[in-house]
Amino acid sequence: MRKKESSLSVSIKCFIKIRFQDLSYVYRSVIAINGTIIVYGQTGAGKTYIMEGNGITECHGEEKGLLPRVVDGLFECLKSLDAMTKFTVKLSMVEIYKEKVRDLFDLSKDNLQIKESKLHGIYLTGVTEALISDPAEASQNLLNGAANRAVGETEMNMASSRSHCVYIFTIQLDSANDRRLKSGKLILVDLAGSEKVEKSGAEGKVLDEAKTVNKSLSALGNVINALTNGSPGKTNHIPYRDLELTRFYKILLVGTAEQHCCVVAHPAL
Ligand SMILES: Nc1ncnc2c1ncn2[C@@H]1O[C@H](COP(=O)(O)OP(=O)(O)OP(=O)(O)O)[C@@H](O)[C@H]1O
Ligand SMILES: [Mg+2]
């Protein structure tokens, strides 16, 4: 289902051009500042479109989605480093589907555990990490992973994401001038959309999915609320442990981290 381009979606595109074209958040991940971009909004609003464009490998120039822009920006930045600095880029893709974390590069890993340790911080056990040496290889891996996502048809979106999808780029730098190995993560999150079942006409399996998605988005809202509304000087309880999405959210806040949220709205919905 293609939507007629509304003034709002045009303004969203402008926002992406202005805010995300400078790609400074990509450069910061290279110098080991973890960065996250979360795309949030109602079902059918255009979140996956913003991430992928009209196909990860098919769009060019201004039509490109966020993912290919990030990949291009990342490799441009790495190419500009001095010749003495070696780098590796790894990519993982997972989805949180009905409270289970599934590895989109290896479907046999359908229940990855989120673990916390003093040594490693918060991490996903056994997640596949594809070594990426150039933008073409990254695009191919992104396409393979995207093909494994849980997608279903509703009355509001013919190809509705039924899971939250997380793209994790891990960048490591080994510089002759610096004895420490630097590591940064750049994480993009395409959330499944909130959904009114009377509008989406969800039934059976699709209805179960919608209930899980709505519940997890509400739990995420509680976590963000607790994080932003704490009283100064008091330790506030943050309900990270409520659901898999909220447990996962803690990973996004590890270390020196910056987070951007892109809220997608569509006036026709
Ligand atoms: N700016 C746009 N220009 C052209 N088509 C668009 C635009 N935004 C969205 N669409 C189209 O609208 C439909 C719904 O978009 P999309 O699947 O990205 O929504 P979504 O927010 O990811 O929904 P869900 O939460 O159900 O996954 C798709 O067919 C997509 O190609
Ligand atoms: Mg989607």
H-type helices in the chain, by residue range? 7-21, 24-30, 47-52, 66-79, 135-147, 197-200, 204-228, 244-251
3 lines ligand 1 (CB under 6 A): yes
Beta strands (DSSP E) in 58-136 are 85-97, 100-103, 114-117, 121-124, 130-132
- What pLDDT is stored for residue 228 in this prediction? 86
| Alpha-carbon span 41 to 23, nearest angstrom | 22
User: What domains appear along the chain, each with residue ranges and CATH number?
Assistant: 7-192+255-264 (3.40.850.10)
Poorest-pLDDT segment among 11-25, 92-106, 226-240? 11-25
1 lines ligand 1 (CB under 6 A): yes
9 lines ligand 1 (CB under 6 A): yes
**85 labeled part of a ligand binding site:** no
- What pLDDT is stored for residue 25 in this prediction? 67
- What pLDDT is stored for residue 229 in this prediction? 86
Pair of tokens at residue 265: 């709205």
195: closest CA among 156, 149, 244? 156
Q: What are 147-204's pLDDT values in tens digits?
A: 999 999 999 999 999 999 999 999 998 887 777 788 888 899 999 999 999 999 999 9
39 has a pLDDT exceeding 50: yes
**43 labeled part of a ligand binding site:** yes
Cα 151 to ligand 2 centre (Å): 8
Q: What are 57-81's pLDDT values in tens digits?
A: 887 777 888 899 889 888 988 888 8
Cα 213 to ligand 1 centre (Å): 17
Please give the average per-residue pLDDT across 215-221, as a whole number. Answer: 96
Q: What is the pTM of this model?
A: 0.90
Top mutation candidate among 48, 197, 216 for ligand 1, by most atoms within 8 Å of CB? 48
| Alpha-carbon span 258 to 246, nearest angstrom | 17
253 has a pLDDT exceeding 90: no
**48 labeled part of a ligand binding site:** yes
| Alpha-carbon span 223 to 226, nearest angstrom | 5
Which bound ligand lies closest to the C-alpha atom of 44? 1
46 lines ligand 1 (CB under 6 A): yes
Q: pLDDT-based confidence at 29, cuts 50/70/90?
A: low
Please give the average per-residue pLDDT across 45-53, as a whole number. Answer: 93
